[in-house]
């Protein structure tokens, strides 16, 4: 169970169907980093027998075994709205909260940012800037 939980976390916490599909490559990657002490005490329980059981595991069994662990794990991070500081350009750039139905020029774009920071916004994390052409979608 501990090794399965560690593999699930390393693989990005996918569902059992996807974890079963990437189980072999994830185990190979984890085996390549065994000396780095990255995988806690769970990796001390890893053996060739455990490896064979993990590779033969049914996706439904994976989901059933991981359900208690998933319920006790912290919830996945939600995206936070990005709040920029007030600066001199805020008044210069018009912000449209609603696009009129009549005015849809091909050059009109809707822009938004999303911060992928997990449960809090401290530390380093990734931002995504999305820009969608309103006319073409």
Question: Tens of pLDDT along 47-84?
Answer: 889 889 999 999 999 999 999 988 887 665 555 555 55
Q: Does residue 48 or residue 123 have the better pLDDT? A: 48
Q: Does residue 74 or residue 20 have the better pLDDT? A: 20
* pLDDT tens track for 75-120: 655 555 555 555 565 566 666 666 566 566 677 788 888 888 766 6
Instruction: Spell out where 71-137 has E strands.
Output: 109-116, 126-133
Q: Closest by alpha carbon to 99, among 81, 83, 86, 111?
A: 111
Q: What is the DSSP letter of 80?
A: B
> What pLDDT score does 58 carry?
93
> What pLDDT score does 33 carry?
75
Structure tokens at 85: 């500081």
> What pLDDT score does 40 carry?
62
Pair 119, 77: CB distance under 8 Å: yes
Q: Region 4-14: what's the mean pLDDT?
A: 86
Helix-helix angle 59-72:2-10, to 10 degrees = 90
Q: Does residue 17 or residue 38 have the better pLDDT? A: 17
Say which range, 39-43, 119-123, 133-137, has the weakest mean pLDDT.
39-43
> What pLDDT score does 105 carry?
65
Pair 93, 51: CB distance under 8 Å: no
Helix (H) or strand (E) holding 48: helix 48-56
> What pLDDT score does 100 carry?
61
Pair 108, 134: CB distance under 8 Å: yes
pTM above 0.85, yes or no: no
Cα gap 87→91, rounded to integer Å: 8
């Amino acid at each position: 169970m501990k090794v399965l939980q560690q593999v699930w976390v390393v693989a990005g916490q996918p569902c059992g169907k996807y974890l079963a599909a990437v189980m072999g490559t994830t185990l190979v990657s984890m085996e390549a980093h065994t000396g780095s002490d990255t995988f806690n005490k769970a990796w001390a329980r890893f053996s060739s027998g455990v490896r064979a059981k993990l590779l033969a595991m049914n996706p439904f069994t994976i989901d059933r075994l991981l359900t208690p662990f998933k319920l006790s794990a912290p919830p996945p991070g939600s995206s936070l709205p990005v709040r920029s500081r007030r600066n001199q350009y805020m008044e210069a750039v018009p912000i449209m909260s609603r696009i009129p139905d009549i005015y849809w020029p091909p050059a009109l774009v809707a822009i938004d940012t999303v911060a992928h920071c997990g449960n809090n916004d401290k530390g380093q994390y990734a931002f995504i800037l999305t820009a969608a052409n309103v006319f073409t979608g």
